[in-house]
Structure 1
Amino acid sequence: MIEYLRIADLGVISAADVELDPGFTVVTGETGAGKTMVVTALGLLLGRRADAGTVRHGARRAVVDAGLRVSADSRALSLAEAAGAVVEAEDDDGPVDLVLNRTVATTSDGGGTRSRAAVGGRSAPVSLLSEVGAHLVAVHGQADQLRLRSAGAQRRALDAFAGEELAAELAAYRTAHARWKGATAEHAELTAALQERARQADALQRSLEEIDEAAVEPGEDEAVRARIRRLEDHEQLRATAAGAYGRLSGADPDAGQEVPGAIALVESARQELLAAPGEEEELDEAARRLGEAAVVLNDIAGDIARYQADLDADAEGDLDAAQARLAELTRLQRLYGPELSDVIAWAERERPRLDELQGDTDRLDGLAALIESSGAEVAERAAALRRLRSQAAARLEEQVTEELHALFMPDASFHVGLTPLPEGEYGPHGADEVALLLRPHAGAEPRPLGKGASGGELSRVMLALEVVLAATDPVPTFVFDEVDAGVGGEAAVAIGARLARLAEHVQVICVTHLPQVAACADRHVHVRKNSDPDAGVTTSDVKVLDADERIEELARMLAGHADSTAARAHARELLAQGPQGHQG
């Protein structure tokens, strides 16, 4: 709700600071005093457009501030906090204080305006005021009547009025509808892309097959490169090994005959030492060491022989085959690498994708079954929604029509149109379009709200509708600008009573010229015009009236002046007969 409204240099109001009642606040004043500026101020805070005439003559800018009490779970609060608004709360779950600000300044040439907005003390685009305000305040004025102007808002209002049973059915419908739409979309996508997915599956299968056939091992490319180097240097390596073996064993491959080798010479030297006369420890030790050397030389000669044999075995292989293998590994690395381990990992990663692509037929069959089952559930739940909405529509029609008759529109009737969508079509909220309609008099066809009714009639229609919906589909604050236009007498009393009834659920602010309506309010705000013809200046003051001042203002509204004894007595009577039975 709006706790206070502060206005500076707006229209004819130079300065005003008004505290509003959480229930029913009425704004009155003489014609031309500027009481509709209160509604204009609220409109600016809701993001409405402003023109140069908004700024008071002689001033550079108009400023409007409002302090609002917002529930912690309000969508408006979420929007404000997302924009960086600073808010204050007494506790974590309690209501929050939020300040809105709008400044409209004239341009230097005086022909236009510049506008700035702030939400919670942080600069914000004016559009954010509109988004936040839509969840906080509903304005019904002569030029702007419909809070429920959109088809979506009208459907939400009917659904809220229908109650918890429809809410539960709608939640179940949305779940089924989302499942049905998802399956339908996936089935269409798979069907449209079936040929492309088949091509992808074929290409992927060939890639996986060539990797499997290659039997790639991590690090194999380095092993193949090493083998190629050995094959390319085979003859030189073989000659080197043969020469070394010949020096050890005594075989001379060039001469083709036996010559003393290192092993034989060492053994001969050991025998010479062993044949020495006497016992010479030094010679015995030398002989022992030569024996050890002979063993080591034999081992080395054996290793070289085995190396030669391996070289001869490699020579029997095909260097071209090794180079072809390296080329194959390099190609796989270029396609799926860069390393052979990456090639192996790619294959493992893509195998499930191949199963998915090749399983399209099974998936299509499964989706078709899901579409059939979920579609049947959607149709069933859509029918249940239509039944519940039809029942709620009948109750809403009856109650709003009753309110219209009480507001002295005896021939008017309220209607809710439920139009089925084309056969087989289901929206996210069911299979019906909802429209709120008014038949202003007998013999006329029901027409959408806002068409076929005068501004005063439409104000009463919206009041009747809001009274009925107040407990189920409220916004925190309702503003009515001259909802009583064109009525008087008993109709005015009825309007005042219903505004008071609406204020039992929400905050109500009403600009009125009827004392019968004003007498029903919890708080009375008066706008008084101050004119200085000599200076050519007209300003207005805004004041909350006390009990005596309220009687005086009601007397003025009744008799045209406040000094009439009869008018004052009538004013007291109106206050005493008001819904609250209060005196101020």
Structure 2
Amino acid sequence: MLLELTIRNFAIIKSVTISFQRGLNILTGETGAGKSIIIDALGLLLGERGSVDFVRYGEKRAEVEGLFELPPGHPALKICEGFGVQVDQDGMLVVKRDISLQGKSIIRLNGQLVTLAMLRELGPWLVTVHGQHDAHDLLHADKHIAWLDAFGEQQLAAAKKEYAALYASYRKTRQDLERMAKNERELMHRIDLLSYQLREIEEAALQPGEDERLNSMRKKSAHMEKIFGGIQAAYRALHGDQRGLDWLGHAMSELERIQQYDDGLAPMVEAIQSAYYQVEDLARQLRQYADRVEYDPEELAEVERRLDVIQGLKRKYGKSVDEILEYAASIQDELEEMEHYDDRLQQLQAKLRELAADLAVEALELSMIRRECAGKLAAAIEQQLKELHMERARFAVEVRQRPDENGIEVEGVKRYVDESGMDQVEFLISPNPGEPLRPLAKIASGGELSRIMLAIKTILADAEQVETLIFDEVDTGVSGRAAQAIAEKLARVAQNRQVLCITHLPQVASLADAHFYIRKEMDERETVTTVTLLSEEERVNELARMLGGAAVTQTTAEHAREMILLGKERKAVKTAFWADQKV
């Protein structure tokens, strides 16, 4: 249940806090006052896409916050637990979302940051919104299967899960098979290409790390004269004219001679002795290294030739010899797999036949359950329509299949299948006696569509397990007895859950448990939307305005007062009956 909604700096709303009640909460106001803005703001708390256009002019960010009370065992509690969001035993959940001028969206559940994807998973369990355009979805038969499946969720869940898993495997296998068949010519071309590439790499007889070793050899050969000169100079400094080793030996002898007079010289004697022998060994190594150094132009030419070969392969197959060898291994594996193309093709064909047979069984099972649910849904909608002053209307939920030469065989006939099964679902209606059942798009009026949609939403309310339902002008296109019937239907739904309803009909507003008036106020500087919980007398004035326009007369006021009184009496009489009935 939505206890409180706070909106700040959102469109033309500066700051509004609405404390909703259990039962039927009615929101009314003149056109353009901002009723739809409140629905847009609430939509942000349910995971709808945000926009910088929502931020009030002159402000840095828009803020929307909702306080929800969740009863024990509510599905939203388990979802929050999965998110790691703590909800206390009182079931209070605060959902807050900010939209900045930079388009950044910050979402918190009980103060904990969450992602938009997480909010979208949670939102449908908190509130269900039925907009004024939902009725037009009835004109699109492709949407009807979703409503049928929602109605039969408990019966269909297991079969749908089994079918979905099989269909995913079937679709992937079919796609793999189609790709293989389609690309057979390309496959042959690729085999030729990869074979050439592999042969070129193998003929080079590359060794791991070879390019690094060759580059080192080239660097050494190219600077051989400098290397030899440097070694000779170092050797002469130690053992030649500069007599570096002799001076070090002289220093060592002097320290050894006076060591007997001062024990503190012992560490220095050891150090200079160690240094002398190390330098002596180094000089010997330099002489031996210099003897081995030899410039070989033929060797350098061979290194350059080999590096040219490797560089040519690098331009085609990788940045290093190791990468080239990895690529060679990968195309070797691919070629081996391609060599078994026919075997793979036959395996996929056999697998597809097996999956198609299994899928046909599951599709038929799913279709049979849908047909059973379709009959129940049609009967339930007919009953709801009777209560909405369409007493003699007949309603049917047609479940049929579409032939498809490329589909799967079900009971000897090739059928079209997709992720939802093999069924096509369409709602049919006969509004008047003697008329045949026909698709809604061909026969239903705007007012009839509104009532049919309300009937469906009423039936699905229990299945959805949502505590709060929002109806945004679902009474469009109706008046008179039909309007009164819709009003009573909404009041009946509100007996078991919280209902928020935006309406232009005084018949609906007269049955409110809480009536909020939305007003747009303007001055020279700004436009502000305010929301006020109406008192009994204020309700009379608002209903009088809805009945007769801006000018409230004594006649319209008396009519409004009578409507409110009759509404209370009607609800009091019917509440006991409704309490024993399913919505």
When normalised by structure 2's length, the TM-score is 0.58
Q: Give the distance between the partners of 1:220 and 1:565, measured in 2 at CA.
A: 97
- Give 1:435's aligned amino acid: E
160, 170, 173: which one aligns with 2:163 = 173
CA contact (8 A) 2:21 2:514 kept: yes
1:169 Cα offset (Å): 1.6
- Partner of 2:265 in structure 1? none
**Residue 479 (structure 1) aligned with residue 497 (structure 2):** no
Instruction: Give the stretch that moved more between structures: 63-72 or 397-406.
Output: 63-72
Q: Does the Cα contact within 8 Å between 2:138 and 2:449 map onto a contact in 1?
A: no
Aligned to 1:375: 356
Q: Distance in 1 between matches of 2:559 and 2:319?
A: 100
- Partner residue of 1:307? none
What's the CA shift for 1:184?
1.5
Residue type of the partner of 2:432? H
Output aligned runs, 1:31-180, within 5 Å: 34=30, 37=33, 39-42=35-38, 45=41, 67-69=65-67, 95-99=93-97, 138-141=129-132, 145-146=135-136, 151=141, 153-180=143-170
Decide whether aligned partners of structure 1 residues 436 and 100 sit closer, same or farther in structure 2, where only a CA change above 3 A counts: farther
Which of 384, 409, 413 is 2:390 aligned to?
Answer: 409
The yes-or-no answer on 1:577 pairing with 2:555 is no
How many angstroms does 1:353 deviate by? 1.9
**Aligned pair partner of 2:501 in 509, 512, 519:** 509
With over 3 angstroms needed to count, the CA separation of the structure-2 counterparts of 1:416 and 1:119, relative to structure 1, is farther
Match of 2:24, as an amino acid?
A: F
Partner amino acid for 2:402?
A: L
State the 1:361 CA deviation: 1.2
Q: Please list every run of 5 or more consecutive structure 1 residues that lacks an aligned counterpart in the other structure.
A: 49-58, 82-87, 103-114, 123-127, 227-319, 532-538
Aligned-pair CA distance for 1:467: 0.6
Corresponding position of 2:410: none
Q: Which amino acid counterpart does residue 471 of structure 2 have in structure 1?
A: V
Q: Distance in 2 between matches of 1:157 and 1:8?
A: 37
Alpha-carbon distance, 1:511 to partner = 1.8
Match of 2:532 in 1: 543
Letter in 2 for 1:579: T
Q: Could you tell me which amino acid in structure 1 is paired with residue 575 of structure 2?
A: P
Q: For the residues of structure 2 that align with 1:349 and 1:498, how far apart are their CA atoms?
A: 67
CA distance in 1, matches of 2:430, 2:521: 44
Match of 1:406, as an amino acid?
E
Change (3 A) 1:169 1:559: farther
Q: Could you tell me whether the CA contact under 8 Å between 2:25 and 2:514 is conserved in 1?
A: yes
Q: Deviations over 1:484-537 (max 9, x none)?
A: 864446x6664334213323245331425345x445433123569999xxxxxx
Alignment CA distance shift 1:513-1:15 (3 Å)? farther
Quick one: distance in 2 between partners of 1:548 and 1:66? Answer: 31
Q: CA–CA distance in 1 between the matches of 2:540 and 2:394? A: 37
Quote the Cα distance in structure 1 between the aligned partners of 2:177 and 2:16. Answer: 63
Change over 3 Å in CA distance of 1:67–1:150 after alignment to 2:
farther
Change (3 A) 1:10 1:198: closer
1:360 is displaced (CA, Å) by: 0.9
Is 2:464 the partner of 1:462? no
2: CA distance, partners of 1:37 / 1:371: 59
Q: Deviations over 1:224-251 (max 9, x none)?
A: xx9xxxxxxxxxxxxxxxxxxxxxxxxx
After superposition, the C-alpha distances for 1:197-236 in whole angstroms (9 at most, x for unaligned) are 234334544665677688766699999xx9xxxxxxxxxx
State how many pairs are aligned. Answer: 439
SS in 2 for 1:470: helix
Contact 1:101 1:118 in 2 (8 A): yes
1:261 is matched with which residue?
none
SS in 1 for 2:25: strand
SS at match of 1:382: helix
| 1:459 Cα offset (Å) | 2.0
**Deviation string for 1:336-394 (max 9, x for gaps)?**
78877766655444332221111111111111111111122222222222212111111
**Aligned-pair CA distance for 1:399:** 0.2
1:4 aligns with 2:18: no
CA distance in structure 2 between the aligned counterparts of 1:17 and 1:220, rounded to whole angstroms: 74
Report how far residue 471 of structure 1 moved: 1.8
Amino acid at match of 1:193: N
Find the aligned partners of 1:206 and 1:117 in 2 and give their Cα distance: 53
Cα distance between partner residues in 2 of 1:327 and 1:192: 44
1:23 corresponds to 2:23: yes
- Conserved in 2, the CA contact under 8 Å of 1:480 and 1:509? yes
| Aligned partners of 1:466 and 1:502 also within 8 Å | no
Alignment of 1:111-510 (within 5 A): 138-141=129-132, 145-146=135-136, 151=141, 153-205=143-195, 208=198, 331=309, 334-335=312-313, 346-423=327-404, 424=407, 425-449=416-440, 452-473=443-464, 476-481=468-473, 483=475, 486-488=478-480, 494-503=485-494, 504-505=496-497, 507-510=499-502
Helix, strand or coil: the match of 1:478? Answer: strand
Give the AA of the match of 2:396.
H
Q: CA deviation at 1:453?
A: 3.2
CA displacement, residues 467-493 of structure 1 (integer Å, 9 cap, x when unaligned): 11112247743224272864446x666
Cα distance in 2 between the residues matched to 1:330 and 1:9: 67
d(CA) in 1 for partners of 2:560 and 2:321? 105
Letter in 1 for 2:185: Q
Moved more, 416-425 or 569-578: 569-578
- Describe the shift of the 1:524–1:120 C-alpha distance in structure 2 as closer, same or farther (beyond 3 A): farther
Match of 2:515 among 513, 524, 537: 524
Question: Within 2, Cα distance between the matches of 1:208 and 1:492?
Answer: 79
* Residue ranges of structure 2 left out of the alignment (5+ in a row): 49-56, 109-116, 218-297, 408-415, 523-527, 548-553, 579-583
How far, CA to CA, are the matches of 1:210 and 1:549 in structure 2? 90
Amino acid at match of 2:443: G
Q: Which amino acid aligns with 1:196?
A: E
Task: Note the C-alpha offset of 1:545.
Answer: 3.2
Cα displacement (A) at 1:438: 3.4
Q: Deviations over 1:158-205 (max 9, x none)?
A: 112112342222222222222112112212222222233234334544
Q: Which residue of 2 aligns with 1:108?
A: none
Q: Match of 1:279?
A: none
Q: Distance in 2 between matches of 1:220 and 1:485?
A: 82
Q: Distance in 2 between matches of 1:485 and 1:219?
A: 80
CA distance in 1, matches of 2:529, 2:179: 66
Describe the shift of the 1:182–1:563 C-alpha distance in structure 2 as closer, same or farther (beyond 3 A).
Answer: closer
Amino acid paired to 2:393: A
Q: Is the 8 A contact 1:562 1:568 kept in 2?
A: no
SS at match of 1:414: strand
Provide Cα deviations, 1:542-571, integer angstroms capped at 9, x if missing partner: 532346766887799796324999778646
Distance of 1:372 and 1:190 partners within structure 2:
16
Decide whether aligned partners of structure 1 residues 218 and 8 sit closer, same or farther in structure 2, where only a CA change above 3 A counts.
Answer: closer
Measure how far apart 1:120 and its partner are. Answer: 5.5
Give CA deviations for 1:293-351 in whole Å, capped at 9, x if unaligned. Answer: xxxxxxxxxxxxxxxxxxxxxxxxxxx9xx99997997577437887776665544433
CA deviation digits over 1:117-170, x for unaligned, max 9? Answer: 996589xxxxx9xx99995553443x7634666555432221121123422222
Residues 16 and 332 (structure 1), Cα distance of their counterparts in 2 relative to 1, 3 Å cut: closer
SS at match of 1:560: helix
Residue 409 of structure 1, CA deviation: 0.7
Distance 1:498 1:555 in 2: 22
The 1:417–1:149 alpha-carbon spacing in structure 2 relative to 1, beyond 3 Å, is: same
User: Structure 1 residues 8, 471: closer, same or farther in 2, change over 3 A?
Assistant: same
Tell whether the 8 Å contact from 2:540 to 2:561 is kept in structure 1 after alignment: no
Percent of aligned pairs sharing the same letter = 26
| Partner SS for 1:524 | strand
> Is contact 1:145–1:450 with CA below 8 Å preserved after alignment?
no
